[in-house]
Amino acid sequence: MREPPSSAPEGSLIDPEVHVESFRQAREARRLELVEDYVELIADLIGDGGEARQVDIAARLGVAQPTVAKMLKRLAEDGLVQQRPYRGVFLTAAGEALAAQSRERHRIVERFLCAVGVSPETARRDAEGIEHHVSAETLDAFRRFADGHSDA
């Protein structure tokens, strides 16, 4: 930490200021993961059955219902959902927009993994985590690749 950038050529380490950017980006993505998964799931549940209820969200996410209740409160505070007490939860315009974007990115990542030779089951599972860390540039590359490798 006390030498100019070009004096220690021994290891595999890059410049600290550059290195830290990657970790910051990953932390920011991790911070948004849950929110993205929630609005995407809520949109899917509403599209599937007309309503998104806490118990169904909890069952799909694999968490307890009070955990969902608390998160929905936060999403409501953030203006992404609107909940009517003892009725379901609905997406605001902002929530719809984030859900659409998240769903599209999710779909592209999963399709790309399949295109590169991963089995559908593994692609489904890995995509659930990978999606949140895929930047716009990488998403473009994934889309191009998948498009070029579909038999349509």
Partner DNA sequence: GCATAAGTATAGCTATTGCTATAACTGCGC
Partner DNA sequence: GCGCAGTTATAGCAATAGCTATACTTATGC
Contacts with a second copy by CB under 8 A lie at 1, 8, 10-14, 16, 18-27, 29-30, 33, 37, 44-45, 47-49, 55-56, 59-62, 113, 116-119, 122-130, 132-135, 137-138, 141-142, 144-145
Using CB under 7 A as the binding criterion, the count of chain residues that bind DNA stands at 25
Maximal C-alpha separation, the chain: 64
- Amino acid identity of residue 49, one-letter, is G
**CA-to-CA distance for 122 and 113, rounded, in angstroms?**
9
Number of Cβ atoms within 10 Å of the Cβ of 110: 22
Residues 74-103 contacting DNA, CB under 7 A? 74, 83, 85-88
Secondary structure string (H, E, C) spanning 92-149: CHHHHHHHHHHHHHHHHHHHHHHHCCCCHHHHHHHHHHHHHHCCHHHHHHHHHHHHHC
Given 3, 6, 27, 136, the residue binding DNA (CB under 7 A): 27
Q: Identify which range of 62-70, 101-109, 110-118, 136-144 contacts DNA by CB under 7 A.
A: 62-70
Which residues lie near DNA (CB under 7 A)? 1-2, 27, 31, 33-34, 53-55, 62-67, 69-72, 74, 83, 85-88
